[in-house]
Structure formats: structure tokens, C-alpha cells
Structure 1
Amino acid sequence: MADTDPIETDGAPSNDNPYSQGVVAGDTCYVSGYGPVDPETGETVDGDIEAQTDRVLENIENVVDEAGGNGLEDVVKVTVYLTDLEDYERVNEAYGAQFGDELPARVCVAVSRLPEDVRVEMDATAYVG
């Protein structure tokens, strides 16, 4: 296996599943998929899809920070998974507010179901060099 460093932080949800919160390989941090889960409680956050999108991005930001990056500022690629494309525009609004003017590349796909029956999940790639 390549020279990699797993990332572990209390700022993002963790569980007993066989994957890392993130992995740094060279100058790149690969962030695992996160739903809108509060890392302190392990529970899905209450609220609308915008609040849930904010929580997902906060989880990603915390992993990138732990990897030595500058949060969402260093994210270069995001994949968004939605269980209902009716949420697409509202997720876009919350997502755009978090990233500002420098937007990463992105893919958005509709999926039939996500773990814990959450409505949104995202994974990310960040430059941390």
C-alpha cells in the first residue's frame, strides 16, 4: 500500500465500520462520506435539508483541518448523494453559502437510500500540501 496517513478527529463522526474518517496520501486528503451526524451525540441533526447540509460540510471541514488543511478552502472535489432530487436546489443554496466564490468540482447523484436513512451525504477530496 502507498504511504498513507489515516485521519482521526473528534470533530467528525466515527463508528466501528472498517474505514478511516479520512486518509492523506501525499498532498491529498480523501475524506470519507458523511451524513448530517453530530459527532458529539452520534445522532442525525434535527432541522431542514439546509441545516443537514451545513452539518455534513462541517464534518468534512473538520477532517480536512485535522489533515493539516484549511477546511473547505482546500476542498477541490465533492460528491453529493441525495435521496430526493427535490432537495437539490436547497442543498445548492446551503452548499454555495459554505464555499463562497471558490467552488470545488462537484458531482451530485440521486441514490435510493443512505445509511441511517439520512437525506444527504457527501465525500470530498482536498489539497493539503
Structure 2
Amino acid sequence: MEKQIINTKNAPAPIGPYNQAVLTGNLLFVSGQIALHPETNQLVQDDIKTETRQVMENLKAILTAAGIDFSNVLKSTIFITNMNDFAQINEVYGSYFSDAYPARETVQVAALPKGVNVEISVIASK
């Protein structure tokens, strides 16, 4: 099966040997996004809601580059470093979706890249 690499300057450049997203068939696999601002390459960590919003905006930019939006998301994975932040993360995350929410898991982890508090990846259908 053929794969197409999706990258956009409207989301942070990968910080390792990976791409922002890979499209194969009608499935788009979006790499985990953290709260790096794509223009400044600086972390946005004023508070957990602001951090989560930047993560979601990065995901939105990648989905847009692939010609789709959050309504196409089938599954998401949320990694957080503090489960006490879950309600605030969930509030921001939920505002990007309508009634047809994707499948999801949320996992507390010991640490994330660059010391961030939240990282989210998605799988979408084109």
C-alpha cells in the first residue's frame, strides 16, 4: 500500500525521525503533538488549558493540510503527566468535536518530550 507524507508549516516541525502525518489508503495517522507554537518554536505552557489548546491547534493544522477536519477523527490518544489535569484537558479537547466523538484513551505517563504536560495523537479517515 502506498503512503503519502503530510507536513505543514502551520504545525511544529518534527523534532525527531518522523513526519507530522502519514496517509495510507483513506487512513491518516497523525503523530503526537505537543504545545510547540509553529511560528516561534516555543512551548506554550501558560496553563493546562492554553497548552491543550495549542496541541489541538497543531492537530487541526495537520488535519487541514490533509484536506480534512476533526469530524474525520476516528481515534485519539491523550498522554498526560498529571491525571488531576484531565478535566481541564477534556474541556478543551471536547470543544474541537461535535456529537460524533472519536474513540479515545487517556493515559498518565511519567514524562513527555520537552517536559510538556499533554501530548495528543489521532487517527482519521479521509
Indicate the TM-score class for this superposition, using the shorter chain for normalisation: over 0.9
Cross-structure match for 2:22: 23
Write the distance in 2 (CA, Å) between the matches of 1:54 and 1:95: 8
Most deviating of 90-99 and 112-121:
90-99
2:110 to 92, 109, 112: 112
Q: Distance in 1 between matches of 2:89 and 2:48?
A: 7
Helix, strand or coil: the match of 1:99?
Answer: coil
User: 4+ runs of 1 displaced by more than 2 Å?
Assistant: none
Q: How does 1:89-104 map to 2 (within 5 A)?
A: 89-104=87-102
The alpha carbon displacement at 1:102 in A equals 2.0
Q: Which residue of 1 aligns with 2:79?
A: 81
Are residues 1:67 and 2:33 paired? no
Structure 2 unmatched runs, 5+: none
Alignment partner, residue 9 of structure 1: 8
Report the counterpart of residue 53 of structure 1 in structure 2: 52
TM-score normalized with structure 1 length: 0.93
Q: Counterpart of 2:9 in structure 1: which amino acid?
A: D
For 1:60 and 1:113, locate their aligned partners in 2 and report how far apart those are by CA, in whole Å: 21
TM-score by length of 2: 0.95
Give, in angstroms, the shift of residue 16 of structure 1. Answer: 4.8
Mapped to 1, the partners of 2:21 and 2:11 lie a distance apart of 10
Q: How many percent of aligned residue pairs carry the same amino acid?
A: 37
Contact 1:54–1:98 (CA<8 Å) still a contact in 2?
no
